[in-house]
Amino acid sequence: MNKFNLFITLIFACVVVVSVSAEPNQTTLSEFAKWLQQFKVYSKANVGVFEGQGFGAIAREDVKEGEPLLIVPSVLLVKNNVIKTDVFKGFAEFSQEIPFEPLMIWLLLERQNENSPWKPYLDVLPQTMNNQLIHWSPEELAELQGTGLAEATASLKQLLEKSYAHINEKLVTPYIPNLSITFENYVWAYEICISRTWTLNITGTIDIALVPLGDMFNHAPGAGVGDINAEGTLFSFNATRDIAAGEQIYVSYGQKSNYELMFNYGFAIENNPNEFMTLHFGLKASNLVQSIVEPLLRVVDPNYKDIRLFANRVPLALLRVFRLSVMDFSELEFVGDALQGRGVSLSNELRAFRGAISALSNLYRSYGTTIEEDVELLKTNLSTRVRYAVITRKSHKEILKNVILVLGKMWENILLEGHLFGTEKNL
């Protein structure tokens, strides 16, 4: 039997791992399988339903490390740039803030078309995305206090409302008045695109694409990363370890923090190996010294305002910003050292370390619970949403606690060793 013909068993052998209601159904899955077989899609997976995850992939047979798990020909990739230039040629008012707006409108157009050649794919897309933060209640969002996700979700809703009004006025009403769009299904199209697309380098051009079947695999750190080949003809990913028949097969969505996983996909991972948190920091134009050093820092690091913190890692970017923020005029001659992440004086170093530790301590205290309380909560019967919220805020607090300890140890070493951090300057 040709290896591609094996794929027909993928959907027909849909495995229900737990008893939950799920979309799509056996009929639409079977039609999807036939459609994919026409395009010679290759997969070593059956489809299963997993509690809290929806659909996912189960190994149909033993798979060895390095073997392909999925191969999708590029003709099935729905590419944002192609949609923009071919379907909406001449329309130049798509949003810069939502880069996949063309894909969103394409989804809604094709979804409304009963004769769409993409119907077998569209029929297996989830009809609801309830774990996405925009659907959480105010009480559930309150569980994310301190993470910034509730505020980001409110901003996203405002952005989508603005985008929806703009698209209706500028595109739908004048050009495609037969397209019926509600705000609810506009949000659905956004959620499909934010959670199910890949950013791909297609023969030198960066594009965003939907990958039928590839978007049914769940995420795990360290799993294979989906990518397109150099010729731009095939999307695939391989096994990164041996996988036994019956195991769930994962793909990696990238090295995502829990903040990113929550905001884009609606879930979080305990003990996420890619975890970090981002602080937003700006120097004040009203402060004369800061107004002098800020343009210099912007040249060295255009993204200095977004500072990533990792557990048990020296927070170099944070220290650099704090050294610059507490500089006085007498220290400006050493601004070059500070821009390169080196200490400039004991007095400046003391103020910088004290300021950084104080800021992180205040942020830690802004959460509604302690790490210990979150640990106990995770032992209880929480709803899926609240569990994800607790996991996320707990990991943020663990990062803050660890970075505070790192800063304290660094300051202790400065005093013990007798010279400034990153230099041979004696105290």
3-state helix, strand, coil in the chain (%, to 5): 50, 15, 35
Give pLDDT, residue 153.
Answer: 97
Is residue 304 within 8 Å of 321, Cβ to Cβ?
yes
Number of other residues whose CB lies within 10 A of the CB of residue 218: 19
Give pLDDT, residue 54.
Answer: 75
Q: Three-class SS of residue 200?
A: strand
Give pLDDT, residue 47.
Answer: 81
Give pLDDT, residue 212.
Answer: 95
**Which residue in 100, 101, 400, 384 sits closest to 262, CA to CA?**
384
All domains in the chain, ordered by first residue: 3-75+211-265 (3.90.1410.10), 78-206 (3.90.1410.10), 277-417 (3.90.1420.10)
Question: Model-level pTM greater than 0.85?
Answer: yes
Burial category of 282 from C-beta neighbours within 10 Å (exposed 0-12, middle 13-18, buried 19 and up): exposed
Q: How far apart are the C-alpha atoms of 102 and 99, rounded to whole Å? A: 8
Q: Three-class SS of residue 245?
A: coil
Give pLDDT, residue 19.
Answer: 29
Give pLDDT, residue 46.
Answer: 84
Q: Which residues of the chain have pLDDT under 50?
A: 1-22
pLDDT tens for residues 97-132? 999 999 999 999 999 999 999 999 999 999 889 999
Q: How far apart are the C-alpha atoms of 156 and 108, rounded to whole Å? A: 20
In this structure, what DSSP letter does residue 207 have?
E
